[in-house]
Amino acid sequence: MPTQYGNRLVLGISSRALFDLSDSHRVFQDQGLKAYSEYQVANEDKILKPGDSFELVKKLLSINELVTGGHAVEVILLSRNSADTGLRVFNSIQHYGLDITRAAFGGGESPYRYMSPFGCHLFLSTDAEDVKQVLADGFAAATILRSGKGGGSGSQLRFAFDGDAVIFSDEAERVYQEEGLEAFAETEKQAAREPLSGGPFKPFLSALHRLQSELPGDQCPIRTALVTARSAPAHERVVRTLRAWGIRIDESLFLGGLSKGEFLKAYGADVFFDDQEGHCQSASEHVPTGHVPHGVANQ
């Protein structure tokens, strides 16, 4: 990661995750790139409505108001638009008063290759192929599902994560998929004191933990939760793994296979990340959700 970013938490986000571009995207799909470009230019002064990750971004940027110097977090626009067609997006950013000043416009190509130069920890997009490329490059990324559900009602920013194949590697999930629940439970019991390998979201979670550590503990604007289908005794390896990593999770829900949606709603998640599409579809009925197309469940 570039040294000039220091300990800053950096989020890369696509235009369609930040704003509702469904009308213009329909033009692109039905009429092609030329018609899309003309549509965007003709409507560049028409302000876009917030997208599914808008409130998340707004809460994230508000953290800068609480720290000295105001540089704890940064959001960078990573878009397939050209700079010309992207003018409408920046006009909307300015309209809503979002402090987003850096961007990469790919001119039709994926902007994933700019994740490293910008020092991004996480990429959110509605384009599954772009997300897969970012994950393949070793960065956390998720495909934001359309849900229309807002995040938590308070000012605190609440992240929720699945465990296996998201925070952790998919090594335990592979045992479950290939050998069944009984073999999974026995393997995890035997390996309880062996830390799991890190998954694609471990670096992002580490960055969140560092940021939390620098903010007032009694008024921290960020809260994290692990929401996993695991239950006892398979919980022990998870607890010991996080302890070995030196990462704090504020809340841990071991649901033993129960549906996660109602729990995520009760927690007030601003976004939930899971590797399994079925879990994501169910969760998106309650909270904003990102699918992480990683691990054995996505092969």
Residues designated as active site: 162
Q: What is the maximal distance between C-alpha atoms in the chain?
A: 63
Instruction: Tally Cβ neighbours within 10 Å of residue 219.
Output: 8
Distance CA 57, CA 78 (A): 14
Is 221:62 a contact under the CB 8 Å cutoff? yes
Which of 181, 198, 191 is closest to 236 using CA atoms? 191
Q: Which helix (H) or strand (E) holds 245?
A: helix 235-245
Joined together, the tokens standing for residue 2 give 């570039």
Distance CA 35, CA 40 (A): 9
Torsion of CA 72, 5, 13, 49, to 10 degrees: 50
Joined together, the tokens standing for residue 97 give 């008063």
Is 52:288 a contact under the CB 8 Å cutoff? yes
Angle subtended at Cα 246 by Cα 276 and Cα 152, rounded to the nearest 5 degrees: 50
Instruction: Tally Cβ neighbours within 10 Å of residue 179.
Output: 12
Joined together, the tokens standing for residue 269 give 């998640």
